[in-house]
Amino acid sequence: MPESSTFLAERLRAEGEKTAAFFAALNTDQWQARVYTENTEWRVRDVLAHFISAEKSFIIKCTPVICAAY
C-alpha cells in the first residue's frame, strides 16, 4: 500500500466526495432514521455531525501532512 502524503490526500478527497454524495442523496425521512438505539439513540443526522466533529479534529492535527501533498 502506498504511504506517500499525495496518495493519502487523494484517498481522503475521494472518500470525502463519496461520503458527501451519500448524505446529499438522503431525503427528509432518511435523515431522521434511527441507526443506533442501544443506550443513546442516534439518527443519521447525528452520525454526520459526529463525522464532521471528528474530521475537524483530524484536520487540525494533520494539516501539515495533507497540505504537503499539494
DSSP class of 40: S
Rounded to two decimals, the pTM is: 0.65
Residue 46 has pLDDT above 90, yes or no: yes
Residue 5 has pLDDT above 60, yes or no: yes
* More confident call, 29 vs 9: 29
Helix ranges restricted to H, 1-70 = 5-24, 28-32, 44-68
Query: What is the C-alpha to C-alpha distance for residues 5 and 64, in angstroms, rounded to an integer?
Result: 10
CB 9 within 8 A of CB 34: no
Residues in the chain: 70
| Percentage of residues in the chain having pLDDT higher than 70 | 80
Mean pLDDT calculated for residue range 3-16 = 85
